[in-house]
Amino acid sequence: MGEADVSAQQPEAGQAARVPSSHEHASRPGDPEVAPGQGSPPAVGLIGRIHERAVFGRFRTEGHRFRHDPLWLSWIRDDDAVPPRAAFAVGRAVGGAASRNRVRRRLRALLAREAARGLPGGWYLVGAGPSAAPASFDELATATAALAARVRREAGR
């Protein structure tokens, strides 16, 4: 087949393409208007984070301290801190980065569950010891519930 056998004219428009182009759907890559979503979904709002450095100094002087192995909690009552603000202290003694992150995620979920049940307003610093890494989710849930009950009792005084 030579060049003489091929038509130089474009064919007339037929039916639409079966696959839409990339800029017909905003979520597809290649769309300059919408950045792709990254990271975890937005927080539900049951607990907030502590960003102020001065608050961490207050934990040493004003914090009420509670322990329920393998966890400990330091709490500063502040009725204006609604939802409760929380930070987590999970050190290298707990294990490698993957273990520490798993413990931190579990503690965040458990504290959010306790906040949904009604935690007093304030600032919370929750820490974990080395025995938190091998602990099951249920064991951590029991320890978190015990700590939350002690905070509720202290708030009722």
- Give tens-digit pLDDT for 84-113: 888 898 999 999 999 999 999 999 999 999
- Quote the Cα angle for 47-49-54, to 5°: 130
Q: Quick one: tokens of 125?
A: 């610093």
Domain ranges of the chain: 48-156
Residue 131: C-alpha distances to residues 63, 66, 72, 88, 138 (Å): 23, 17, 12, 16, 14
Please state at what angle helix 97-116 crosses helix 137-156, rounded to 10 degrees. Answer: 50
Q: Phi and psi dihedrals of 63, rounded to 5?
A: -70, 140
The pTM (predicted TM-score) of the whole model is 0.66
Among 22-31, 43-52, 91-100, 117-126, the minimum mean pLDDT is found in: 22-31
Q: What is the per-residue pLDDT across 44-56, written as a single tens digit (0 to 9) for each? A: 555 667 777 777 7
Annotation: CATH topology of 48-156: Ribosomal Protein S5; domain 2 (3.30.230)
